Amino acid sequence: MLKNYAQKILEVSPNLRIDSVILNENGQNNTVIEVNNELIFRFPKYQQGIKELLEETRLLKYIYKYITLDIPNPIYESLESQTVGEIFVGYRKIPGKTFDMQAFHSMGHEDLDVIANQLAQFLFELHSIPLQEEFVDHHYEKNQYKYWEDMYIRIQEKLFRYMSNESQVLIRKHFEDFLNDTMNFQYKPAFVHGDFGVGNILIDYHLPKVAGVIDFGGSHVGDPAVDAAAIISGYGEDFLKQMYKFYPDLQSAESRMRFYRGTFALQEALFGIENNDEEAFKNGIFNYQ
């Protein structure tokens, strides 16, 4: 199977010498291939993934010049086909290790402060990028209420049967309190990473600093509080508060952050049941049974 991916890459880039090909990650939406230990290629698994990769690549090319930290910079691409297995994008691998909980807990306060500073700067830069008309989905922007209302309806219809009564009551309150407060839809839209979690932040192998940020597949124009919510979910509120020193505007969105954070597992379970991904469903529903 890996030979097939290598062949597709060589058809587009015949001058590229391929010495090694390994499976880097078999994610929900993409098969990720590592070539020569220095290049990353992502192949969408589904038709929806093709659309998302096209959007992600377009966005990365636009935002790259505004971001100080290393982010993926597409240099190889095959985007004309609409066939799964043929369309891909490739970029240089960002050297670093995942800023996982083991790395997080091994650091002292001063080192975490350095990391918090860099991540806050990244979010500030990302959220401050000028919004070009071509990137603004006005349907999405004007119907944020409907977006969350629709998700709430789907959760009730598709997930409630697998949940305890207590969980159902808590979810109803969580969504209805949010939907009934019009202030939750008054934010200024910005570019957001969309999945700013533990798996997508890389740190240097030897120094306490951020090496880069990866996986912009969930990036879109939306509420900046989504990215702050992912920080809370991954590293906790105290770490987010360290970031406030460098990006104080984040603090004004705390109520929305907590709402978004409370939907992450539900969204994973919903994705699982709607896309026949049993692992995603089990992971998402686990704490609600």
pLDDT, tens digit, 9 for 90 and up, residues 131-141: 876 666 654 55
Both 152 and 256 in one domain: the answer is: yes
Both 22 and 136 in one domain: the answer is: no
The answer to whether residues 229 and 196 touch, using CB atoms and an 8 Å cutoff, is no
> What percent of the chain shows pLDDT beyond 70?
96
Give the total number of structural domains in the chain: 2
Tell me the CATH number at 126.
3.90.1200.10
Q: What is the pTM of this model?
A: 0.88
Both 170 and 265 in one domain: the answer is: yes
The confidence score (pLDDT) of residue 139 equals 47
Domain end position, chosen among 92, 119, 140: 92
Q: Which domain holds residue 196?
A: 97-288
Which of 103-112, 245-254, 256-265 is least confident?
Answer: 245-254
Both 65 and 128 in one domain: the answer is: no
Q: Identify any residues that bridge with 39 across adjacent strands, giving them in sequence order.
A: 35, 92
Both 134 and 73 in one domain: the answer is: no
Both 83 and 128 in one domain: the answer is: no
Per residue in 209-260, pLDDT (tens digit) is 999 999 998 888 889 999 999 999 999 999 999 999 999 988 888 889 999 9
Both 225 and 257 in one domain: the answer is: yes
Tell me the CATH number at 82.
3.30.200.20
Both 214 and 79 in one domain: the answer is: no
Domain end position, chosen among 92, 117, 151: 92
- Cα 32 to its chain centre, rounded Å, is 15
What contacts 243, CB < 8 A, 6 or more positions away? 116, 117, 119, 120, 123, 228, 231, 250
Domain end position, chosen among 92, 117, 148: 92
Higher pLDDT, 133 or 157: 157
Six-digit token pair at 80?
Answer: 């004309």
Both 83 and 102 in one domain: the answer is: no
CA atoms of 16 and 1, how far apart (whole Å): 19
Both 259 and 175 in one domain: the answer is: yes
CA atoms of 259 and 276, how far apart (whole Å): 26
Both 180 and 57 in one domain: the answer is: no
Q: What angle do CA 152, 155, 159 make, to 5 degrees?
A: 165
Number of Cβ within 10 Å of residue 65's Cβ equals 7
